[in-house]
Amino acid sequence: MGIVHALPRSGTVEYSVIVSNPEGAQTSNVARLTIMPGSSSLLARFPLDDSRMDTTVMDTRSGILGQFNVSTMVRSTEGVSGRALRFDGVADRVRAIGPGLANGDFSVSVWIKPDSFKQVGIISQGGYCWERGWLLDFGAVGQGALRLETGLGGAPNGYVQTTMNTVIPDGYWHHVGVSVPRGGLSRLYVDGQQKAAGAIGAGDLSNTNLVIGGLHGAVCGGLLPFDGQLDDVQIYGRALTEAEVRFLYHNPGSIVADPVSR
DSSP codes of every residue in 212-256: ESS-S--SSS-----EEEEEEEEEESS---HHHHHHHHHSTT--P
Residue 6: predicted pLDDT: 42
The answer to whether 242 touches 177, Cβ cutoff 8 Å, is no
Percent of the chain with pLDDT over 90: 65
Question: Of all residues in the chain, what percent are helix, strand and coil, respectively (each to 5)?
Answer: 5, 45, 55
Better-predicted residue by pLDDT, 37 or 229: 229
Q: Give the pLDDT score at 170.
A: 94
| Residue range 115-141: mean pLDDT, rounded | 95
Domains and their CATH numbers in the chain = 42-250 (2.60.120.200)
State how far the Cα of 117 lies from the Cα of 105, in Å rounded to an integer: 30
Nearest to 140 by CA among 158, 174, 163: 163
**Mean per-residue pLDDT of the chain:** 85
| Terminal C-alpha separation, the chain | 35
pLDDT band of residue 220 (cuts 50, 70, 90) is confident
CA–CA dist 123, 95 (Å, integer): 10
Query: How, if at all, do strands 146-151 and 156-161 pair?
Result: antiparallel
Lowest mean pLDDT among 64-78, 169-183, 187-201, 230-244: 64-78
Q: From CA 174, how far away is CA 114, in angstroms rounded?
A: 9
Summarised one tens digit per residue, pLDDT across range 36-83 is 455 789 999 999 985 555 567 788 888 877 877 754 456 788 999 999
pLDDT category of residue 8 using cuts at 50, 70 and 90: very low
Q: How far apart are CA 88 and CA 84, in angstroms?
A: 13
Q: What is the largest CA-CA distance in the chain?
A: 81
Distances (CA, A) of 224 to 126, 134, 135, 199, 235: 12, 15, 12, 25, 21
pLDDT at 16: 60
pLDDT of residue 218: 67
Helix runs in the chain, H state only: 242-250
179 in helix, strand or coil?
Answer: strand
